[in-house]
Structure 1
Amino acid sequence: MERKILIATHGEMAKGLQSSLNVLAGKGESIEVINAYMTDTDYTPEIIQFIETINEEDQAIIFTDLYGGSVNQKVVTEVLQAKRNNIFIVSNANLAIILSLMFLAEDQVITDEIIEDAIKESQVQLVKINQTQEEDSIF
């Protein structure tokens, strides 16, 4: 079983996440990225090509930046048309969720429950840092 990951975003966010994954985990190059709308070229064929590389025994996760956004809509449409239930889609993705799912054991089968648990653990908690606080009380 092989696990494949695609990050598809508006602009170069996907490339930036890939770069961060390289710095933090040395694994960014193993991830495919689509930086949509950087040119006039339709990126749908890239999504289809990724889907076609996923064999029945493989699993894949596609991360998108905005739930309901055009990139997410194209990904969902292509996965549904391919009728592939071994491809998971996670939208509103952040670095934490990608790292969490990237480091699952290689032989661990991904399930909806595993994805949902990782999402709960990775949900963003925005924090305003009060610059007048003592450093020890910030963290």
Structure 2
Amino acid sequence: MNQIIVATHTTLATGFEAFVKFFMPDVANLHVINAYVETPEYEGELRGVLDALPAEDEVIVLTDIAGGSVNQKATLLMGEYGFKLVAGINASLLLELVCRTDPISDEDLAAAVEQARGQMVFMNGLALDDIDDSDEL
């Protein structure tokens, strides 16, 4: 099974969890860490979540900011735990990964990241004729 860990500064991770639970109330493979909220010891929190997951499961850690302290500490643990790490989480990427039941290869993850990047659109830069008002979000 794929296990997804969302680790962010302050309570952003909880917001992403609420977003996923809106669509999937019974989600079981999503774990969140609100770094530096309960304790300044984020690395210990991450280790605790990682240690509690089944060893045979694929683990993907999503962080908020590349180069931020949350991502830096996760980067240091990648080799030890063997998880995949993506910085710059967004809602479409998270939802896609949580819904995937098949194993996620490095190539699959790279493609999912590219697709998620495409979801970021400066809407004012689009011509109004390009927007189909029959499509609802």
For the aligned pair, the TM-score class normalised by the smaller chain equals: 0.7 to 0.9
Give 1:1-139 correspondences, 5 Å limit. Answer: 2-27=1-26, 30-80=29-79, 82=80, 84-85=81-82, 87-104=83-100, 106=101, 108-123=102-117, 124-129=119-124
Distance 1:40 1:101, change over 3 A: closer
Contact map agreement 1:4 1:61 (CA 8 A) in 2: yes
Structure 2's unaligned 5+ residue stretches are none
Q: 1:41, CA displacement in angstroms?
A: 2.9
Q: 1:39, CA displacement in angstroms?
A: 4.4
Q: TM-score, normalised by structure 1?
A: 0.80
Distance 1:58 1:28, change over 3 A: closer
Structure 2 CA distance, aligned partners of 1:40 and 1:92?
A: 23
Q: Mean alpha-carbon deviation: is it higher for 6-15 or for 35-44?
A: 35-44
Q: 1:110, CA displacement in angstroms?
A: 1.4
Counterpart amino acid of residue 120 in structure 2: Q
Counterpart amino acid of residue 99 in structure 1: L
Q: What do the CA deviations read for 1:14-40 (whole angstroms, capped 9, x no partner)?
A: 000001111122245642111112245
- Pairwise CA RMSD: 2.5
* Displacement over 6 Å in runs of 4+: none
Q: 1:109, CA displacement in angstroms?
A: 1.8
Structure 1's unaligned 5+ residue stretches are none
SS of residue paired to 1:18: helix
Counterpart amino acid of residue 112 in structure 1: D
Distance 1:36 1:14, change over 3 A: same
Q: What percent of counterpart residues are identical?
A: 25
Structure 2 CA distance, aligned partners of 1:30 and 1:113?
A: 21
- Tell me: higher relative CO, structure 1 or 2? Use CA pairs within 8 A at least 6 residues apart: 2
Structure 2 CA distance, aligned partners of 1:23 and 1:52?
A: 27
